[in-house]
Amino acid sequence: MFEIARPARAPSLHVPKPAGVVLEGLRVPGLGMRNPATILAPVRSRACPWSVVLGWLVVFPVAASGQEPLADVEQMVRELRYEEALERARAVRSEPRTSPEIRLRAVELQATAHLGLGDETAAREAFAELLALDPGYRLANARPSPRVQDVFLNVQQTVRPRLEGQLIVAVAAPSIDGSPAAVSALPAGEHALVRVAFEVRGNGPEVTIDAEPGGPPWRADVPVDSREAARRIGIVGRGYAPSGELAAVSELVRAPAPTREARGGEPDTAPAAPRSSATRRRPEREPGIVERPWFWATIGAVVVVGTFVLLALSGGSSEPAASGASE
């Protein structure tokens, strides 16, 4: 008998895996699997198609919210679609949630579109509105066209925006117990304010109090030292644009009279201001005899009766005189 030689066994290329490491897509023996044929079988994914849909619903709004609001307007200007750019920029400006920086850029793009249409008058008006919102504004484009830059610089040198009255300040009546007075401010119209401060006068040295961020409205509490100071207090609001320049100023607003609140647990005993004689209500006066209608009616009747009596007497006395003369 002849013995058939067995072929030499090829060396194994198996590399032992570290304990606890599981390759993705493979099933490992010893983890509840007894069939060797399924050791290298790929794991089938059982992902529900709804998970894909929900993933798009979550990711898409995030991507959309991060998009530049004026990217389409800038693209329209580059493509010379000026009418569409003007309409879209107006829509961005009218949105209440538009940030001051985006609002300023929208006005600049409007002016650029007007120049593209050949309407320099409308472009100058747009640049004037831009400088009224932010007197220190600089063109966002680092290399603007010479035409846009020339018109903007000309408007910047000739137009002086009006700051007074662009901010409306209201002061609540301060309490006489020493609690602060509440102050609030609102813009008078379209604005690009990022910070508001209140100048307090009449309460000792003039001080400036920054309003709480997040307006409009912008709010702050003004401390009051005494009742006399509360009656003298006056506040001026100042609003600042993204460039840091002053963009809005309010009129001087006086605080109303202090409210009558408790001081130290006891009611306030300050006397009330006397009422002027002009504001007092006078009692109604009874009309006199001369002012009554029946008085004049009686006088008229007496005059008429007296006239008839005199005429009758004068007529009777003349007849006997005439008869005596004839005899």
Instruction: Check for a shared fold between 66-158 and 167-254.
Output: no
Asked if residue 103 has pLDDT above 90, the reply is yes
**100-116 vs 71-78: helix crossing angle, rounded to 10:** 10
Distances (CA, A) of 96 to 42, 62, 68, 99, 190: 55, 20, 16, 8, 10
| Position 111 pLDDT exceeds 80 | yes
Report the distance separating Cα 168 and Cα 252, nearest Å: 10
Q: How far is CA 188 from CA 103, 219, 233, 249, in A?
A: 16, 16, 23, 10
- Tell me what pLDDT residue 298 has: 80
Helix (H) / strand (E) element for 300: namely helix 293-326
| Averaged confidence pLDDT in the chain | 74
CB atoms within 10 A of CB 40: 11
The mean pLDDT value for 261-265 works out to 42
Architecture (CATH level 2) of domain 66-158: Alpha Horseshoe (1.25)
Interval 301-325: pLDDT, tens: 878 777 877 777 776 555 544 444 4
**Which is higher by pLDDT, 151 or 68?**
151
HSE-CB at 63 with a 13 A cutoff on CA atoms is: 6
Contact 40, 27 (CB under 8 A): yes
Whole-number percent of the chain with pLDDT over 70: 61
Q: Give the pLDDT mean for 270-275.
A: 41
pLDDT at 224: 76
Q: Which of 15-19, 108-112, 227-231 has the highest mean pLDDT?
A: 108-112
pTM of the model: 0.59
Residue 25 Ramachandran class (φ > 0 left, ψ -120 to 50 alpha, else beta): left
Assign a CATH topology to domain 167-254.
Answer: Immunoglobulin-like (2.60.40)
Q: Where are the domains of the chain?
A: 66-158, 167-254
